[in-house]
Amino acid sequence: MPIIDCHAHIFPPLSGPCGFEDAAAHLLYQQFSMHLHRNQPVRRLRDHAIVEERHLWKEGDPSETGRIRVNFRVGRCGRFEWEMEEETFYLQFLPVGMELMSCPADMMIAHMDYTGVDVAVLQNDHIYGNLSRFFSLAIAKYPGRFIGLAGVEEAFAYREDQIEGLRDGCERLDMAGLYFTTSGFFRSGYRPYYTDPVYGDFWNEVKRLEIPVFWVLYGESPAGTYSDELRHFREWLERYPDIPSVLVHGIPTFSFADADRLRLPELLVEILREHQVYAEVLYPISCGRQMEYPYQRAATHLRQVYDQFGADRLLWGSDMPNVERYCTYGQSRTYLSQHCDFIAADDLSRILGGNTRSLFSRSNRGSAPRPAK
């Protein structure tokens, strides 16, 4: 069974358009993403002290008009930077070693070969760009090594140009799934939302293409809390039961832990048990700032998830190259394969690749990964 990383990234230099109409449009998404990002702290450049303020968006205005002009920019060595009141601030989003703020396909393949990963699913977040064409070139250069996800501008996905872009991405550029983040609705102030009937043609096209959707669900937005977001998601699942879904970054177990005993919301349990929903398993990127390898507290959470839901809906992912700000690419897998001995061997094989392979086997896109030589 090939080892498949369900969450990886390749991207050209982030200071460029990266598939957007221009670099300014790309920078708008990047600034909002850094406003939302909470895994890494904001630091003041002159003394590298952690500060609480983000400075990037107006409180109470999550729409595009809430953007604060702070000379936000793509820096070097993994940083996004900006100025406020004659001080420079930064957020260390990528590993320090990423001097040029890019991860070409050749680099990712070298990491995969060294670590023993056969296939990587390329996720298409706006931080990196609208990258279906970039992914397509990588897929052609390295047959069987990459599975690409298409991207759309979520706030406008109901429009014909976005539907056509999705169709083109899947039918001409060989994308095998859709990456869909609810944070993208800041462009429209979260109205209409993806559950609105106006999105019917878009979701019907996703259904016709027989592709899975990789979801990033954000709470604390005009759409409501995380619980509200789950209710929206269940509404969508009931309307489109034939479309497989993946929870990007998996189950936020640390949000529902009482002395490391999980108390998952009933609605989340229902979603995972009764619908065609998978969850990523990639604890190092989410908890690497709080604990060291091999992430023993995270393993106690994973054991409860495994006991409650089994292995068939769990997909291993790394979030490479981001994860290397906390651990090596190899360690992002070996914490699972070497330190979670409660997982049966056959189940581990499914988590490390079998389930992802099955997820993409509904269509002929991305269904026949070629093992690394």
What structural domains and CATH numbers belong to the chain?
4-12+100-362 (3.20.20.140), 23-92 (no CATH)
Strand partners, 280: 315
Task: Give the mean pLDDT per block of 10 residues along the chain (373 residues).
Answer: 96 98 97 95 98 92 93 98 96 97 98 98 98 98 98 98 98 98 95 97 98 93 92 98 97 94 97 97 96 96 98 98 98 97 98 98 54 36
Instruction: Tell me what pLDDT residue 368 has.
Output: 43
* Nearest-angstrom CA–CA distance, 345 and 342: 9
To 5 degrees, how large is the angle CA 369–CA 100–CA 50?
105
Residue 370 DSSP class = P
194-222 pLDDT per residue, tens: 999 999 999 999 999 999 999 999 888 88
Around 304, how many Cα atoms within 13 Å sit in the side-chain half-sphere? 18
Nearest to 136 by CA among 180, 104, 177, 175: 175
Task: Enumerate helices (H) and strands (E) in the chain, giving the number of each.
Answer: 12, 15
Instruction: Tell me what pLDDT residue 220 has.
Output: 80
- Do the beta carbons of residue 320 and residue 332 sit within 8 Å? yes
* Nearest-angstrom CA–CA distance, 339 and 337: 6
8-60 pLDDT per residue, tens: 999 999 999 999 999 999 999 999 999 999 999 999 999 999 999 989 999 88
Nearest to 316 by CA among 280, 266, 369, 365: 280
For 47, list phi and psi in degrees, rounded to 5: -135, 0
| Cis? peptide before 294, omega within 30° of 0 | yes
Residue type, 214: F
Q: What is the DSSP string of 335-354?
A: HHHTT-TTS-HHHHHIIIII
Instruction: Tell me what pLDDT residue 371 has.
Output: 38
Scanning 250-315, the segments in alpha helix (DSSP H) are 266-274, 283-287, 296-309
CA distances from 109 to 166, 176, 177, 192, 354 (A): 26, 19, 21, 40, 20
| Cis? peptide before 192, omega within 30° of 0 | yes
Nearest to 232 by CA among 189, 190, 280: 190
By DSSP bridging, strand 42-44 and strand 50-51 are antiparallel
* Per-residue buried b or exposed e for 83-103, using 16+ beta carbons within 10 Å of the residue's own CB: ebeeeebbbbbbbeebeebbb
- Do the beta carbons of residue 235 and residue 195 sit within 8 Å? yes
Instruction: Tell me what pLDDT residue 365 has.
Output: 55
Tokens describing residue 136? 């397509």
Instruction: Tell me what pLDDT residue 218 has.
Output: 86
154-164 pLDDT per residue, tens: 999 999 999 99
